[in-house]
Amino acid sequence: MCTPDIRDIVVHFDGQDLSKYGLFPIFAWYLTDVIHLPEYFAQVSVNRKRNHSRRRRGKKPLYTDAQMCMGLVAISTLGIPRISQIDDLLKTETQAAHLIGLPQFFDQSTAHRYLNRFSKWHVSQLDRVNTQVLLAHGESMRQDVVLLDIDSQTHTLESRKREGAVVGYNRKKPGKPCLQWNVGFVRGEAVSQRLMAGNTRGTQLLKWIISDVRQKLSYPPSILRLDGGYLSKDTLSYILEKLFYVYH
């Protein structure tokens, strides 16, 4: 058995470069210099002047839409599970913020206010960004035989204040309000996704996801991979009608 040529990798920081997120510069370089993600986020319009309310008119946002979106992507990339934690974890990470074009990381209040201003139109903008990035850099758009993996995840919330957060099909925490996140993957890339109320069954979104993927890829999937939540009499009839090959 041969041994790998690469031995231990040591990352050393000194002075102002000190950071507890040692490998983040690699991700920042890939997102900004390879994918050019800030250029895609420039089409998001949450913070555009025409979207400001009268009481906030004349007050320019501290961060552009591209900066806010890059910051939120960075938070996820850094493995921070909750926005409420960014004040404690990212307050001193000024150098990391500079790598993605931010003067510093925004606080949790700024992040919450920004996300609360999202409408269906802005979600559609982000979906368009996702499709554009996949077209330019993804593998899902370059498949002769498309295997579509449709999966659903339950997101438990602390209250019913979030739109659609109701007591529903929550196996991990029965009785807790939740949302259902339905995603269609091709080659491990999220091509289609939709967040629904916690009491929404996966079978209700199956046709929509297949249609959405077909429209984005310009041709239909050949193989479907489904979990148990999507199987029903109507699903099987639809599969036989469309002649998909399915495995569970």
Of residues 172 and 153, the one with the higher pLDDT is 153
- Section 136-161 average pLDDT: 83
pLDDT tens for each residue of 89-99: 898 888 889 98
Residues 6+ apart with CB under 8 A from 133: 35, 37, 40
Whether 192 has a pLDDT exceeding 90, the answer reads yes
Whether 54 has a pLDDT exceeding 50, the answer reads no
pLDDT band at 6 (very low <50, low <70, confident <90, very high): very low
Residues 6+ apart with CB under 8 A from 230: 150, 152, 202, 203, 206
Q: What is the Cα gyration radius of the chain?
A: 21
List residues bridging with 185 in a β-sheet.
Answer: 149, 190
Q: What is the pTM of this model?
A: 0.79
Whether 18 has a pLDDT exceeding 70, the answer reads no
In contact, 230 and 206? CB cutoff 8 Å? yes
The torsion angle over the Cα atoms of residues 96, 127, 81 and 166, rounded to 10 degrees, is 160
pLDDT at residue number 43: 94
Whether 137 has a pLDDT exceeding 90, the answer reads yes
Of residues 200 and 100, the one with the higher pLDDT is 100
Q: What is the DSSP string of 11-50?
A: ----GGG--S-TTHHHHHHIIIIIS-HHHHHTT--TTSGG
Residues of the chain with pLDDT > 90, as a percent, come to 38
pLDDT tens for each residue of 62-78: 899 999 999 999 998 88
pLDDT at residue number 1: 44
Domain-wise residue ranges, the chain: 15-120, 139-247
CATH superfamily of 139-247: Ribonuclease H-like superfamily/Ribonuclease H (3.30.420.10)
pLDDT at residue number 121: 92
pLDDT at residue number 222: 86
Q: How many CA atoms lie within 13 A of 120 on its CB side?
A: 3
pLDDT at residue number 19: 56
